[in-house]
Amino acid sequence: MIVGLIVACEVAFWVLLAAGLVFRYVFKMPRLGLALLLCEPLLEVVLFTVTAIDLKNGADPDWRHGLAAVYIGFTVGLGHSTVKWADARVAHRFAGGPPPVRPPKYGTARAVHEWKVAGRWILAALVAIALLQGAVWYVGGEGATGSLRAWQERMLWLIGINVVIAGSYTLFPKRER
C-alpha cells in the first residue's frame, strides 16, 4: 500500500504542477494556478500520515517505509527548485517571459552553482535521515529497524557524493577554452 501511495503522490505532484502552470499561464488564472501549486505539500503530509498510521498499526518497518521518508525528503529538498524550473520554462513558452537562465559553465560561478545544487540534495538527504530516525524512535527498540538504518546509510552516501561533485568543481574549476 505504501509503495502505491508513493507512486500516487509522485503522479499527483506532476499533475498538480502541470495543472497549476496551465491555469497560471494558459488560462490566465494566476491565483488558481498558485493555489494548485500550494496544494503540493499536502501530498507529503498525506504520505507521512499514512506511513505513521501503518507503523502505529503494527506493520514491521521495511524498505517501503524508508522509501516514503526518502520521497518526502527529496520533495522538501528538491520540490521547490523543480517547480521554479518548470515555471520558468512555461512562462517563457506561453507567457512571453524571459528565457530560462542557464547555469554557468565555467570557473567560480559554476562551482557556486554546483554547491547550491549539492545543498538542495543534502537538505533532501538530511530531511530523509531525520524522518527515518523519527521512525526508528517511533517503532522503538522491539521493532526491526535495520531497513530504516540502511536507508539512512544510503542518504549519507548521497551527501558524500554531492560534496565530492561540488568539491571537484571548486578544486578543479572548468576553464573556458
SS3 43: helix
* pLDDT at site 177: 84
Which H, E and C letters describe 89-155, residue by residue?
HHHHHHCCCCCCCCCCCCHHHHHHHHHHHHHHHHHHHHHHHHHHHHHHHHHCCCCCCHHHHHHHHHH
* pLDDT at site 9: 95
* pLDDT at site 174: 87
Helix (H) or strand (E) holding 8: helix 2-21
Q: Is the pLDDT of residue 143 over 90?
A: no
For the stretch 4-36, pLDDT in tens is: 999 999 999 999 999 999 999 999 999 999 999
For the stretch 76-133, pLDDT in tens is: 999 999 999 999 999 999 999 999 999 999 999 999 999 999 999 999 999 999 999 9
Average pLDDT over residues 158-162: 98
pTM, entire model: 0.92
Dihedral of CA atoms 143, 146, 149, 151 in degrees, nearest 10, equals -120
More confident residue, 8 or 58: 8
* pLDDT at site 48: 95
Q: Is the pLDDT of residue 38 over 80?
A: yes
Q: How far apart are CA 48 and CA 44, in angstroms?
A: 6
* pLDDT at site 58: 85
Q: How far apart are CA 36 and CA 113, in angstroms?
A: 29
Q: 123 phi and psi, to 5 degrees?
A: -60, -45
* pLDDT at site 141: 67
Write the burial class of residue 84 (CB in 10 Å: 0-12 exposed, 13-18 middle, 19+ buried).
Answer: exposed
* pLDDT at site 73: 97
* pLDDT at site 140: 81
